[in-house]
Amino acid sequence: MTEEELMLQQLFDEDKLTDKQKKIIVAAIETFSEKGYAASSTSEIAKKAGVAEGTIFRHYKTKKDLLVSIVAPLMTKFIAPLVVKDFNKVLNREFETVEEFLRATIENRRDLLIRMLPVVKIMFQEIPFQPELREQFLELVVKNIFNSVEKVIIGYQEKGLLIEMPPESIARLTITNILGFLFSRYLLFPQLDWDDELEIERTIQFIMHGIGKKD
Amino acid sequence: MTEEELMLQQLFDEDKLTDKQKKIIVAAIETFSEKGYAASSTSEIAKKAGVAEGTIFRHYKTKKDLLVSIVAPLMTKFIAPLVVKDFNKVLNREFETVEEFLRATIENRRDLLIRMLPVVKIMFQEIPFQPELREQFLELVVKNIFNSVEKVIIGYQEKGLLIEMPPESIARLTITNILGFLFSRYLLFPQLDWDDELEIERTIQFIMHGIGKKD
Amino acid sequence: MTEEELMLQQLFDEDKLTDKQKKIIVAAIETFSEKGYAASSTSEIAKKAGVAEGTIFRHYKTKKDLLVSIVAPLMTKFIAPLVVKDFNKVLNREFETVEEFLRATIENRRDLLIRMLPVVKIMFQEIPFQPELREQFLELVVKNIFNSVEKVIIGYQEKGLLIEMPPESIARLTITNILGFLFSRYLLFPQLDWDDELEIERTIQFIMHGIGKKD
Amino acid sequence: MTEEELMLQQLFDEDKLTDKQKKIIVAAIETFSEKGYAASSTSEIAKKAGVAEGTIFRHYKTKKDLLVSIVAPLMTKFIAPLVVKDFNKVLNREFETVEEFLRATIENRRDLLIRMLPVVKIMFQEIPFQPELREQFLELVVKNIFNSVEKVIIGYQEKGLLIEMPPESIARLTITNILGFLFSRYLLFPQLDWDDELEIERTIQFIMHGIGKKD
DNA sequence: TATGAATGAGGGTTCATTCAT
DNA sequence: AATGAATGAACCCTCATTCAT
């Protein structure tokens, strides 16, 4: 089983996908991610997947349908659990400090995040142009997850570990920084030299303490 | 003079642009920004600009040439000065604290940033797919600007106002948060209700102090 | 038994058709009639028939084969008997006048004609484009039937009830008027208000006496 | 100037058609008429017209647009004048009898009718499937022309030359017979031996006197 | 026998680009 | 300089037909 298929299993294990369907999805993710949705052609995807072009349209009514079929489950099945799962651990007092929690979460899932990056890239690239995706994202990710996050943040706030800023803002800022790092690192400038461990540590440090010196 | 033409003047005032060329650029920015580069057609741009299709190709050899002609000067003439200019003020001790500096910078240029957002959006949308733009961005923006930033940051660090983190990281994190806010606000979820003043204040607060409670 | 199946029985009662075959034919007639042969897709027919696409091609080698299988028996088993049958009655002096004969024939079979119209429509739509059908039509309908008609017409001519025009011409003109009414009524402008009884009466009157005033 | 171009001139002389546009229309008429609209491909039409396929879509937004652009002017510019023109002569008492009028009309325009037949064929083939055409036909031909016809018919009725049947019915029946002859002759069975003069004469005779013997 | 996934040729249409005017 | 008709490759998608199950 290739890496891609592993990722697919994470994304699509509930659905019964035929062999060809898996190949189409793998090829589509690769192509969309490399060239962007609009610049990808179904014929190229078909060739890369080793199927006839018509086969794509047997499974996905339109090219956009293919896009949505890739990105939508990511939102429902991947991103939500990714965050929520360990938040429960946090709520169960497994982590004494937010710092530890952030470090554990990021480190813990870094490989998966890296493997998922193509799809994440597609997702953020297309959200500005596809109202359908934007609405799904708001409904499934923003609303759904931010609810869970709120509890955790409030928990830490009550423990006196977080400032009193409203939970949504804290969530937005934290997520911004994590995604900001990942996008800079893997999408915008992958060819630069990065010391990943160090940058993650700095990101966490920044999230926790900002850049102002305590005195 | 329309708003767009004002923006154009900021971007292109040195070049002698014909009236039609200006219209083409305005139309291209609007279209690229709305639909993305690949999904925009030159015929649509021509129609929106009120010129013949051929006219576009008289001024810009290819569609990609049009894209680069829009984004490249942004990098050289807009973003660089935007940051550097006030950094010099900072170096001249005009601002006692980083906070004040950040606030002044953001507030000061907010309107312009908002008006520039279409082009900024295009820039970030296309950087992952256009190596030409990516290299330009690295060369002109990252290297060029980060050099200036370093001095400022070092200055504040020497004054004991910033932590000891390496200047590049501080720059990256700061920029990430500013752009992160602007992208969330204007590109990803413009339809949500935002209290801009408040969010900017929180972003600044976050940049300076993180989310961890000092005690 | 539905109306369609009744019609099918009239058309195909000798052949042993499976249940699925009947459903395919009903669906094909409906689709061909609504959209025309070329604009109908086998997949739509399959869906409407509730069978798999492959099933159609198990029974009919090609799409055209399906068309011919529908229209051909119509010519041999329906139209020919339709006319000939009562012509025998006429020959047996059941009708004193041609008028009565025409009226009886049309009225008598009007419901059936209406129910058959989808297939008749297909037949006339496709005859110009399918040489196979055209030849069959000439062989089975024109030659075969016109022979019978000739006898009837000659019979009435001998009785002094018809003018001396050659039987083929009389046949052509009569049929033209009946079909012309039916086509105007049911195919070209079904949405107009028609007083069927009245129009039939006028058609008969016209066939018999033209529009010139006797003096 | 070829025959087709002559016909085109009759149909489209008011519009300024480029050379390529004329070729496209000629090719489209030929192809639609031979194979039917749905079975004709734009690539075939382009090849036959000697233009690039894209050129078709520069002038006609869609394939259906091409169809309508061919058939619509036929209705407005050809069929209407065809009938109305001589009806005025009739009203001016140029013809003593309806028979003479019919003969003059048919003979007079037979060549043109024959040359127009491909377009007439397309028109009647597609009216059942294209609501757009059907409505146009009703609006432009049926309503428009039948108004004129009514006057003529009433004129002859007042002169005692026509029976008292309602003008619309007389019109429908007359037109049915003329088109019925033309369709049988040129569309359905062009390969049969026809004595055109004789058949026209018989059609006229039939229209005037029916098939019933006066006595 | 019946299925429906798979095919790949061909469908209508769009597009960036060219070039004569 | 500016036009816009013309191009033809490429696009997304549909289709009749095949074949392993």
Question: Mind listing the pLDDT tens digit for each residue in D22-46?
Answer: 899 999 999 999 999 999 999 999 9
Closest residue to B125, CB basis, from A125, A138, A174: A125
**Dihedral sign, Cα of residue D180, residue D181, residue D186, residue D191:** positive
> Per the domain annotation, does C214 fall within a domain?
no
Chain C CA closest to residue D214 = C214
> Per the domain annotation, does B214 fall within a domain?
no
Total residue length of chain C? 215
> Per the domain annotation, does D170 fall within a domain?
yes
Closest residue to D162, CB basis, from C169, C170, C213: C213
Interface test with C, best of D102, D173, D194, D195 (most C CBs within 10 A): D173
Of the pLDDT bands very low, low, confident and very high (cuts 50, 70, 90), residue D86 is low
How many domains, in total, are found in chain D? Answer: 1
pLDDT 10s digits, B2-59: 565 666 666 666 567 788 888 999 999 999 999 999 999 999 999 999 999 999 999 9
Q: Which chains does D contact via 3+ CB–CB distances below 8 A? A: C
- The answer, yes or no, to whether residue D12 has pLDDT greater than 90, is no
pLDDT 10s digits, B58-103: 999 999 999 999 998 888 777 766 666 666 666 666 677 888 888 8
Distance F19 C1' – C54 CA (angstroms):
10
3-state secondary structure chain D: CCHHHHHHHHHHCCCCCCHHHHHHHHHHHHHHHHHCCCCCCHHHHHHHHCCCHHHHHHHCCCHHHHHHHHHHHHHHHHHHHHHHHHHHHHHCCCCCCHHHHHHHHHHHHHHHHHHHHHHHHHHHHHCCCCHHHHHHHHHHHHHHHHHHHHHHHHHHHHCCCECCCCHHHHHHHHHHHHHHHHHHHHHHCCCCCCCHHHHHHHHHHHHHHCCECCC
Which residues contact residue D72 at a Cβ distance below 8 angstroms, ignoring those fewer than 6 apart? D133, D136
| A209/B206 CB distance under 8 A | no
Provide DSSP, C182-195.
Answer: HIIIIII-TTS---
| B125/A127 CB distance under 8 A | no
Q: Which chains does A contact via 3+ CB–CB distances below 8 A? A: B
Strand F nucleotides with an atom less than 7 Å from a protein beta carbon: 1-20
Q: Which domain holds residue A90?
A: 64-209
- Mean pLDDT, residues B130-147: 82
- The reply to whether B53 has its C-beta less than 7 Å from any atom of strand E is yes
Residues of A in contact with B135 (CB under 8 A): none
> Per the domain annotation, does D215 fall within a domain?
no
Residue with tokens 């007639």: C29
- Mean pLDDT, residues D173-192: 83
Q: What are phi and psi of A60, to 5 degrees?
A: -130, 120
Residue with tokens 């036909």: D137
- The answer, yes or no, to whether residue A117 has pLDDT greater than 90, is no
| A211/B170 CB distance under 8 A | yes
Of the pLDDT bands very low, low, confident and very high (cuts 50, 70, 90), residue D145 is confident
- The answer, yes or no, to whether residue D17 has pLDDT greater than 80, is no
Interface test with B, best of A211, A213, A214, A215 (most B CBs within 10 A): A211
Q: Nearest 5 degrees, angle CA C201-CA C202-CA C206?
A: 120
Which residues contact residue D164 at a Cβ distance below 8 angstroms, ignoring those fewer than 6 apart? D157
For chains A and B, tell me whether 3 or more CB atom pairs sit within 8 A of each other.
Answer: yes
Neighbours of A6 (CB within 10 A): 12
E strand residue ranges, chain B:
none
Spatial distance between the Cα atoms of A55 and A46, rounded to a whole number of angstroms: 8
Task: Using a 7 Å CB cutoff, list residues 9-38 of B near strand E.
Answer: none
Distance of CA D193 to the CA centre of its chain: 23
With CA atoms as reference, report the closest residue to B47 among B26, B74, B62.
B26
- Mean pLDDT, residues D209-214: 70
- The reply to whether A215 has its C-beta less than 7 Å from any atom of strand E is no
Closest residue to D177, CB basis, from C38, C173, C214: C173
Distance E18 C1' – D42 CA (angstroms):
23
With CA atoms as reference, report the closest residue to A176 among A145, A207, A153, A200.
A207
Of the pLDDT bands very low, low, confident and very high (cuts 50, 70, 90), residue A212 is low
pLDDT 10s digits, C149-173: 788 888 888 888 888 888 888 888 8
> Per the domain annotation, does A179 fall within a domain?
yes
Residues of A in contact with B38 (CB under 8 A): 35-39
How far A190 CA sits from the closest chain B CA (Å)?
10
Query: What's C13's domain CATH number?
Result: 1.10.357.10
Which residue has the closest alpha carbon to F4 C1'? B52
Neighbours of C54 (CB within 10 A): 9
> Per the domain annotation, does C215 fall within a domain?
no
With CA atoms as reference, report the closest residue to C75 among C21, C131, C9, C145.
C145
Spatial distance between the Cα atoms of B193 and A74, rounded to a whole number of angstroms: 26
Query: What's A184's domain CATH number?
Result: 1.10.357
- The reply to whether A19 has its C-beta less than 7 Å from any atom of strand E is yes
Spatial distance between the Cα atoms of C79 and A152, rounded to a whole number of angstroms: 81
> Per the domain annotation, does A127 fall within a domain?
yes
> Per the domain annotation, does D145 fall within a domain?
yes
